[in-house]
Structure 1
Amino acid sequence: MRGHGIVELTGEGWTLRGTDATGDAGDIEVPAVVPGCAHTDLMRAGVIPDPYLGTNEAQAQWVGLADWEYSRHFDVAARPDGSRVHLAFDGLQTIATVLVNGTEVGNTRNMHRRYRFDVTDAVRPGTNEVTVRFASSARAMLAAAGDDPLPYDWSYPYNELRTMACEGGWDWGPTLVTAGIWRNVRLEVWDTARADVDVTTTLDEDLRRGTLVVGLAVEGGPCEAEVAVAGHTERFTIDSTGRRQLTVDVPEPEPWWPRGYGAPTQYDATVRLLDEGGKVLQETHHRVGFRHIAIDTTPDEHGRAFTLRVNGRPVFCKGANWIPDDLFVSRITPARYETRVDQACAANMNTLRVWGGGIYEDEAFYAACDARGVLIWQDFMFACAAYPEEEPLRSEVVAEADDVVRRLAAHPSVVVWNGANENLLGHEDWGWRTQIRDRTWGEGYYRELLPAAVEAHAPGAVYVVNSPAASEPGVHPQVPGDGPSHLWDTWNLLDYAHYRDQIPRFAAEFGWQAPATRATLTEALGTLPDRPDDPALLAHQKQPGGERHLVDRLKARFPDPAAIATDTDRWHLATSLNQAHALRTAVEHFRSWWPRTAGALIWQLNDVWPALSWSLIDHGGRPKPAWYAVRGAFADRLVTLQPREAGLSAVLVNDTDEPWTGELVLRRVHVADGEVACTEREFTVPARSVRTLPVGPTITQAGRRREELVVADTAGADRAVHVFVRDDGVRWPAPDVKHTVEHKEDRVLVHLTTGVAVGDLIVEAPGMRADTALLTLLPGESGTVVLRPEHEGTPLPNNEDVSLHTRNGFFAT
């Protein structure tokens, strides 16, 4: 935006003071940086240790119970007569009183909103002071809930305050309630007129007529608005203060397409305010795209479809749930957003779901998704709790919904808005009714208030009442065959083979835990403890019973889980492999049932801190083995071996616009002796289709069931492998893999050869990242893994620096 006189107030120059005279913060005064928060400033000053490291989280709890004050000085030049001055905050966390030169100019109680205060009468030419006093959110939440709280999870009743729910703890993150100016702040000087500007687009179903819709909340005037987009420019007369909507027709725009379906075409849109003489008063720039979005819920023999259609085309949503990439959200940079989105794309994902217990992310996140064609399912920030619908919360929800939808509506990637995460489910299945009694609990938000905001400000998007939810009111939110589903019984109770028990219409959440990579855990703990039940390691496992689940889920997959559970090295590898196989099993199963199943969003892509969690990418930005498994399972062309009524079958999934023709080689292979039987099948799979081919008795009638594998290979797809017995019953031979290292300019090629079959082969070296993992090599086969440095300047490894890990090591005697 330009056209105003802007004084940026971000960066250094701030001071953080503790204002809780009776508590631990009373004598603290340290330099502060904005955007930031109390924890990051106290860490920088050495007042508290990093709560992400070791068991330090417990030592930082007092910070969230204290009151804090941010202040700084700024200079203002003499301004023209009649001009106005606004103090604009893009994010305050959370209960704040704002003062300028000692005069109170505003109050806030919502982390998720932007704020603008008229400070014309409070500022003066020369040096001024701005002060932001934060009351403890932790104390305020507890006070608001009282002795009879509405249902919520974790440490603090976040349902009583519009703040980031997961700062109060979650089953993958620490409890670190904080306070601070967490997004940019600036002083704006203007005259004649100014406006809050938001834009969105629509595209007719025939893809021939687009519309740019500009919302203006104008102060001052009269003035003119000039709107330019895609070679079209129109002027509008603005004769009074208030909100108005302007539309510009854009005939025949190039549509914005998701990844794999076409180009994510975007256009520059510029909105200018002009005075009567044509002088530019304000100018905003936006990147927009034109797309038509719908969700098909047509009844069929299985229930109701739940299929996203983009520009009329049905899309299988391949992706993951997104949580804040850091619990101290001011630390998430545009570069970090781009890296994470690129990692999702590299895993062949086309969809990310922004989960409802975090934040509405920064513009940089949505811009990265826009440019890459990544679809966004955007939750409103309501999760796993009952929310009161009365004041003072209701007014905050109204203002938040209006502000957030207007802010994000410009982004073509934001295609689905969701009312809440698991709140309808909680009301029906988690015993809430008794605790709620006759009180409101949020349903009015999800069925009335929030969809109205989407309809008003983002007419090109669709709205879903909750996840999970059925298509019709009065139907249980988790009914089979209808709406988005959350599949948690498998991880919590069962072996991962039970993912195949269900054929959901859209799997919006399912997941399997594993620890962060060894490198990330070592950074967090200093050294890896000998046993996985060490207190320092368990401090980073936040699911109640999660450590027990990790070991219990090894049953039927690895021999002697109890012994594995006493050795951190073996435990780390086994649980990491288990997560990889569990998620591969789930994703391949769901994809094999397209179009009946139309989406698979894994819980979760990323982490808020170094954790034992469900993430694919740990907090250090390092992919876990499961990331590699998911990359293959989400590939555009997939071969998977699945149980079917006709027996073991090869299912070929073609998620491209071209027919897939090739030859499928099916083999039965002995783990030491090599090939036992082989058949070859020519196939054609039409575009965006699935074809199932029975494997046949030549391959499935094993002679030595515990020592033989079924292997399916074809050009252009990853190898598929099936075993005849439970995983813990396979007689894998002792690994016999030899490797040599070849140095290139910026990478290392690790050449591998094996005399016997090896499963889940992983190549590691300190400071390096592999291009592939989880290889299955058959007797006599060879392969190459490329290692690249994580950081510039990391020395390339030699032969002795490379370590190999395989599944075989758990089985061979």
Structure 2
Amino acid sequence: MLLRLPTPATWQLTALSGPVPDAVAHAPDGTPRRFAAPVPGDVHMALRSAGAIDDPHEGDNERRLAWIGQSDWSYETTLEQIDTTAERIDLVLHGVDTHAVLRVDGDERARLSNMHRTWRVPVPELAADAVALRIDIDSPVAVATAERDRLGARWSVFSDLSPFIRKNACAFGWDWGPALPGSGIWRRVEIEAWSTARLSALRPTIRLDGVDGVVDLDVELERSGAVGSDSALIMIARIGDVGVQVDVEPGAVRAHARLDVPAPERWWPAGLGPQTLHDLVVTLTTSDGDVLDTQTRRVGFRDLVVEQVDDEVGRSFGITVNDVPLYVRGFNWIPDDTSLAAVTEDDVRRRVAEARDLGANLLRVWGGGVFESDEFYRACDEAGMLVWQDFLFACAAYPEEEPLRTEVEAEVRENITRLMPHPSLALWNGNNENLWFWFLHDWEHALDGATWGEGFYTDLLPTVTAELDPGRTYLIGSPSSGGRWDDPNDPTRGVVHWWIPDDYRAYDDVRPRFVSEFGFQGPPARVTFDAVTHDADPAPFSPGTVQRQKAEGGTERINDVLAAHFGVPRAFDEWYWLAQLDQARAVRYGVERFRSLEPFCRGTIVWQLNDCWPALSWSMIDVNDRFKPVAYAVREAHRDRIVVLRHEDGVPALFVCNSTSTVWSVDVDVQRWRPDSLVERCSLRVVAEPHRSTRVDLSVIAAALAPDELLIATALAPDGPTRSSLLGGTDRQFPDRVPAFELNVEVAPDGVGIRIDAHTLLRDVTLLVDALDPDAHADRNVITLLPGEHEIWRIRTAHPAVFTPERVRAAVRTAHAASDPDPDYRGLAQLEREKAARSAAAHG
């Protein structure tokens, strides 16, 4: 029976070469300094734990710690002797970042060159004695630079090094994350001792045949190579009471089995039904019945179709599961920390659960990161969270020359095999934006014949996917519109990334079929921001704020939209809140715009769910697990049944969106307001058909809206009231009365209850609970209340005593914000000076 053993959880780390500070490179006596290094882990984690470096996420430490990625490092440990008579003893490394030499007792055993692969190295010496294991890791910056110089530079949006090394591209910096390219052993290392043969790959293709389930199981074996290891074997596969036994011929390294499972319970995405999973157990034995290896995969029976149909407009794109059309409400997923090994299984499960809480039914694992952990995909299976899986190519021209091509094929084969059993896995996607950039930047001529990844996307990836996972769709890229990339981001065909340059109301100008990226930036929770910035006088362009902003022109865009909607904020605190609110408004506006087009538009994937460090970014949840206001706003827009007010064809319009399989008959209350009073109201009876948005005529109450008028529509859905608001102009043209409300606080066993009774119209009421308790969590936010209405917030907190009425009232925010510019506000004066200085420098 295959024996699997752990290796030490702590290794020894030393610097080998590079611009390493002497205090890190050497001990006081001049010898190499050794650090206790967690494995899994990386160099940043080890040095931070030892106090040798400051937090990479704080201040400008990103710049100060660039030397880590420019240096070579060595990991060492001792592997103890194993008491075994096994024919093979293998060291299995599930993730080394990235180019490394592995030595056993000083002898080179393997060269590693891809962080996205597992490496298996025989170490037979362990049967006789302990061995010294050493892994020397080369600087990723140096390796990528050498490959770039050898092959010739290629076009890239961000780092010009990331295409030349099989490492997570975002480690070199992105428009939401820092450049902290590190090194380490980022996934577990273990020892496997086995004899005769082992199961090296299981690939179950699951399908439905009517009400019954079918499992076509392809299995690959590895023989030990010892005398007699080419003997006949037996493979047994079982799901519940259904089992099959297959004879494996002498010397064979492949086997196939089919299991027919009568009427299994189906697996459903979140919101459509239960997530029923079944254990597929595969056992390999000798002909005498001695067990050699056993592995289990949790599988689900579902029929998932990615529909791409040419029609009179263009080409549709949508997902149907078990014959039920699904309106996709998803988020893009990026690595959850700059140190990948710092992300625990609990972190992953919590984040997936949060995505579901925010109404998501799909996560897109973005191609500039990594193939995620096994725990991530298990969590998605259990949560009903579909996974759109990118292959790891993003925003750059990728060379196809050797040895990169061989590395790409190896990583793709391994990860398709690892992930394809998961029922949550919906589709494979070839790349992120590379076809689009080929089109936008004329790579056909600009690259002068250099390879750029075309062979990967059109040949290698679809060929290997069809071979190993024939039951799933391969999409050539995101965005993509079919054909020879004549316009990969054509909204009438396929999937688009819709990045608006200015005001989010421009979403009204597009009618896409499916949106796999869109979003708007906003600051993290204020306590997250304050913990890593140390400006004496914080402002939009003060040094600490600038360090948090990685998108070129990002803060300028935030300011432009703020000015258009609210006017110029008078203080940084006001700027901060309104930037958070505008992000919430913008993303909700986009989600609801695209929902109003169902079934012409079949889904959205918001950029982005999570953060890898404290940043001004597009995330819903900041790096410290604090919900931003945008998270609450998007959760409302993701509900199955919502009402949406918007300007359509130049007039106010009401849409009743029903993304369920049953008719929704509902009365919609529509009110027309001016800043100081209710002008008019009416009730409209609407019958909303399944899986579509129904437009309702509003001419009875609002054939047009004046700039200082507001429409509010409210309906009662089965899961509670749904409300939408529409301004005739902008917030600065709708000067709210000073908010008046009554506030009561009640301490409960599990936290605090806060009730707000509105005496005036309160728009976008939000409790910034992190100002009172950094770990507190509010169950709702960004809520509009009419006079006479009330709402109760439930606050999860371990410190209820800090939630006094006075302090809570100070943490209440609404859309009522000052709109007159204040020339004495230093922050905006600084902003204007710096913008002028940059402009002068650019033209000087």
Amino acid at match of 1:358: G
User: Is the CA contact 1:496–1:585 (under 8 Å) kept in the aligned structure 2?
Assistant: yes
Partner-residue secondary structure (3-state), 1:123: helix
Q: For this pair of structures, how many residues does the alignment match? A: 797
Match of 2:510 in 1: 502
Structure 2 equivalent of residue 769 of structure 1: 777
Partner of 2:244: 234
The CA distance in 1 between the partners of 2:247 and 2:398, in whole Å, is 42
Give distance in 2, aligned partners of 1:637 and 1:326.
34
Alignment correspondent of 2:759: 755
Q: Shift of residue 657 of structure 1?
A: 2.6
One-letter amino acid of the structure 1 residue matched with residue 6 of structure 2:
E
1:15 has 2:50 as partner: no
Please tell me the residue identity of whatever aligns with 2:356: C
Output one character per residue of 1:397-451: Cα deviation in whole Å (capped at 9) or x when no partner: 1111100100001111111100000011111112434442112111111111111
Aligned pairs for 1:550-699 (under 5 A) are 550-560=558-568, 563-564=569-570, 567-645=571-649, 647-673=651-677, 675-699=678-702
Q: How far does residue 156 in structure 1 lie from its aligned partner after superposition?
A: 4.5
* Pairing 1:696-775 to 2, within 5 Å after superposition: 696-700=699-703, 706-715=708-717, 716-765=720-769, 766-767=772-773, 768-775=776-783
Instruction: Give the drift of 1:759.
Output: 1.0
2:552 corresponds to 1:544: yes
User: Which letter maps to 1:346?
Assistant: D
Partner SS for 2:178 = strand
Match of 1:64 in 2: 69
1:731-762 per-residue CA deviation (whole Å, 9 max, x = no partner) reads 21112223121111122111212322121111
- What is aligned with 2:343? 332
* Cα distance per residue 1:54-74 (max 9 Å; x no partner): 111111100001101101112
Name the SS of the counterpart of 1:170 in structure 2: coil
Match of 2:38 among 28, 33, 39: 33
Give 1:588 deviation, angstroms: 0.5
Shift of 1:532: 2.4
Whether 2:803 is the aligned partner of 1:797: answer yes
Paired position in structure 1 for 2:364: 353
Q: CA deviation at 1:541?
A: 0.7
Task: Render the CA deviation track for 1:469-497: whole Å, top value 9, x for unaligned.
Answer: 11223532112300110111x1xx22100
Match of 1:71, SS? Answer: strand
Give the deviation of 1:265 after TM superposition.
1.6
Question: Are 2:159 and 1:155 aligned?
Answer: yes
Q: Is the 8 A contact 1:260 1:656 kept in 2?
A: no
Mean Cα displacement is larger for which, 59-68 or 304-313? 304-313
Q: Which residues in structure 2 correspond to 1:116-135 (within 5 Å)?
A: 116-120=120-124, 122-135=125-138
Give 2:519's aligned residue. 511
Write the distance in 1 (CA, Å) between the matches of 2:710 and 2:558.
Answer: 28
Within a 5 Å distance, the mapping from 1:385-534 to structure 2 comes to 385-488=396-499, 490=500, 493-525=501-533, 529-534=537-542
Moved more, 299-308 or 686-695: 686-695
Amino acid across the alignment from 2:522: A
The whole-number CA distance in structure 1 between the counterparts of 2:734 and 2:763 is 11
Distance 1:529 1:294, change over 3 A: farther
Paired AA for residue 130 in structure 2:
T
Q: Deviations over 1:711-745 (max 9, x none)?
A: 33334342111122223211211122231211111
Tell me what 1:95 maps to. Answer: 99
Aligned to 2:842: none
1:215: Cα distance to partner?
2.3
- TM-score, with structure 1 as normaliser: 0.95
**Partners of 1:717 and 1:84 in 2: CA distance:** 63
Q: 1:180 — aligned with what?
A: 184
Secondary structure class of the residue paired with 2:236: strand
Query: Per-residue CA shift, 1:364-404, capped at 9, x if unaligned?
Result: 11111101111100000000111111201010011111001
Q: Would you say the 8 A contact 2:153–2:160 is kept in 1?
A: no
Distance 1:707 1:689 in 2: 29
- The superposition leaves residues 589-631 of structure 1 with CA deviations (integer Å, 9 ceiling, x where unpaired) of 1011111101100111100111110111110111110111100
CA distance in structure 1 between the aligned counterparts of 2:186 and 2:330, rounded to whole angstroms? 28
2:217 to 213, 238, 249: 213
SS at 1:470's partner residue?
coil
The one-letter amino acid paired with 2:12 is T
Distance 1:722 1:229 in 2: 54
Residue of 284, 290, 302 corresponding to 1:273: 284
Q: 1:707: how far off?
A: 4.9
Q: 1:705 to 1:443 in 2, by over 3 A?
A: closer
* Pair 1:85 & 2:89 matched: yes
- Counterpart of 1:572, as a letter, is Y
Distance 1:178 1:647, change over 3 A: same
Distance 1:262 1:175, change over 3 A: same
Mapped to 2, the partners of 1:529 and 1:76 lie a distance apart of 60
Stretch deviating more after TM superposition (26-35 or 149-158): 149-158
Identity of aligned residues (%): 33
Distance 1:658 1:780, change over 3 A: same
Report the AA paired with residue 714 of structure 2. A
| Cα distance in structure 1, aligned partners of 2:204 and 2:721 | 39
- Distance in structure 2 (CA, Å) of the matches to 1:445 and 1:63: 32
Distance 1:617 1:22 in 2: 36
Q: Deviations over 1:530-583 (max 9, x none)?
A: 3222211211111111121111121321122xx44xx32111111111111111
Letter in 2 for 1:135: D
1:223-280 deviation per Cα after TM superposition (whole angstroms, max 9, x unaligned): 2211111321111222225244433233432222111222222101111111232122
- Which whole-Å CA distance do the structure 2 matches of 1:774 and 1:343 have between them? 18
What's the counterpart of residue 140 of structure 2?
137
**What is the alpha-carbon distance in structure 2 between the residues aligned to residue 463 and residue 626 of structure 1?**
32
Question: Which deviates the most, 244-253 or 165-174?
Answer: 244-253
Q: Check whether the contact 2:95–2:188 (CA below 8 A) recurs between aligned residues.
A: yes
Give the aligned partner of residue 4 of structure 1.
2
The SS at the match of 1:48 is coil
Distance 2:382 2:307 in 1: 26
Displacement after TM superposition at 1:195 (Å): 2.1
Q: Which residue of 1 aligns with 2:828?
A: none
Say whether 1:191 aligns with 2:189: no
**Alpha-carbon distance change, 494 to 194 in structure 1, aligned in 2, over 3 angstroms:** same
Which of the numbers 188, 204, 215 marks the counterpart of 1:200? Answer: 204
Q: Structure 1 763/138 Cα, relative in aligned 2: closer, same or farther at 3 Å?
A: same
Q: Give the SS at the match of 1:698.
A: coil
